[in-house]
Copies of this chain bind each other. A is one copy, B any other.
Amino acid sequence: MRAHGPLKTSRMSETAYEAIEGAIVRCELPPGTPLVDRQLSEALGVSRTPIRDAMQSLEAVGLAMRVRGRYAVAGFDVEDVRELYQVRRLLEPAGLEELARTWDEETVDELAGFFDEAQRPGPPGPYEDYLARDHAFHKRIVSLTGNSRVKRFYAVNEKQINRIRHYLAPGYEGRMTEVVSEHKEVCEAIGRRDLTAARAALIGHLEAGEATMITFLAQQQEPNEG
């Protein structure tokens, strides 16, 4: 029985995936929320098939999980934060080391001046803008590895970190100005052609970020791991 025109605009699986992923990352669907295909099917106006495709993908990137057969939004805890930041400390310095190896002057200059443009003095802009700029910087560093597998792995990692950022906000913006100065420290070291210092500054920055996130998460009376 055909209900109505199903509007085969594009891949409904991808549309559904992005809708659900966005809702999970923004914590509109909090950790532990059951993901019931029939409900989501009705809510998004598509059939169960693309929804189940999307849920499979969400499970693959660790945003959803199956607990005794039932799908639910994945939980996270302090140990996840440790893992996520360990991955960053592993991948991002690798980008800098590749830069040290190849030493492309143009790229060095690009990174050294990454925050020059659109960097107004005084209070930084809205949180979302700041997050986007932050992410662009770190993503650019990882891209220096030129390794597509590393980049994909990093992207999944970042998605999970971003979700915890959303979970912790508001209150988490407090570190914004601190992070900006840490970024500048990395960029200045790159500008001085001192990649050893840049690497150290980057790792310090990541360690500070991990510590902050763990502190906030522990305060929040950490929820259970999914």
Q: A87 at interface (Cβ–Cβ under 8 A)? A: yes
Which residues of chain B are near A153, meaning CB under 8 Å?
A: 153
Stoichiometry, copies per complex: 2
Across the interface, do B86 and A147 meet the contact criterion of CB distance under 8 Å? yes
Q: A148 at interface (Cβ–Cβ under 8 A)? A: yes
Which residues of chain B are near A147, meaning CB under 8 Å?
A: 83, 86-87
Q: A8 at interface (Cβ–Cβ under 8 A)? A: no
Q: A67 at interface (Cβ–Cβ under 8 A)? A: no
Q: A57 at interface (Cβ–Cβ under 8 A)? A: yes
Chain B, Cβ-Cβ closest to A145: B86
Q: A40 at interface (Cβ–Cβ under 8 A)? A: no
Partner of A87, one of B49, B53, B87, B149: B149
Interface residue total, chain A, C-beta cutoff 8 A: 20
Q: Identify which of residues 156-183 in chain A touch chain B, using a CB-to-CB cut-off of 8 Å.
A: 157
Partner of A157, one of B49, B57, B84, B149: B149
Across the interface, do A83 and B149 meet the contact criterion of CB distance under 8 Å? yes
Across the interface, do A90 and B157 meet the contact criterion of CB distance under 8 Å? no
Minimum CB–CB distance from A90 to chain B (whole Å) comes to 6
Q: A155 at interface (Cβ–Cβ under 8 A)? A: no
Q: A78 at interface (Cβ–Cβ under 8 A)? A: no
Which residues of chain B are near A83, meaning CB under 8 Å?
A: 147-150
Q: A19 at interface (Cβ–Cβ under 8 A)? A: no
Q: A23 at interface (Cβ–Cβ under 8 A)? A: no
Q: In the complex, A94 Cα to B57 Cα: how many Å?
A: 28
The interface of chain A, by Cβ under 8 A from chain B, is: 49, 53, 56-57, 60, 62, 83-84, 86-87, 90-91, 94, 145, 147-150, 153, 157
